[in-house]
Amino acid sequence: KQEVTQIPAALSVPEGENLVLNCSFTDSAIYNLQWFRQDPGKGLTSLLLIQSSQREQTSGRLNASLDKSSGRSTLYIAASQPGDSATYLCAPGNTPLVFGKGTRLSVIA
């Protein structure tokens, strides 16, 4: 059974900092891995999807890497902004997705 761990559980940084969120998973037999953002009381917004054959994916200030063999993924956020404040969820992809508990990010202006 897939288990997902996200570190840190919470993170507070000043605006402008670069930061890294970590995700580890136990079953490396995955099709892909997705990173999501969840604002309080809201649904999920898909940020990045990395196919199992890829090592990284970029979208704007976000960069996600995947090391499938070691069961790890990282989400790098460059030049953080207060609007980035949210919970970030990692989901190694086999259908259905299994989620970690997320990292609660606060970016202070």
- The answer to whether 76 contacts another protein (rule: CB under 8 A) is no
- The answer to whether 93 contacts another protein (rule: CB under 8 A) is yes
DSSP SS3 for 83: helix
- The answer to whether 60 contacts another protein (rule: CB under 8 A) is no
Dihedral of the alpha carbons of 89, 90, 94, 97, in degrees to the nearest 10: -20
Strand 10-14 and strand 103-108: pairing? parallel
**Please, which residue, 61 or 101, has the CB nearer to another protein?**
101
Note the residues at the interface with another protein (CB under 8 A).
Answer: 31-32, 34, 36, 41-44, 46, 49, 89, 93, 95-102
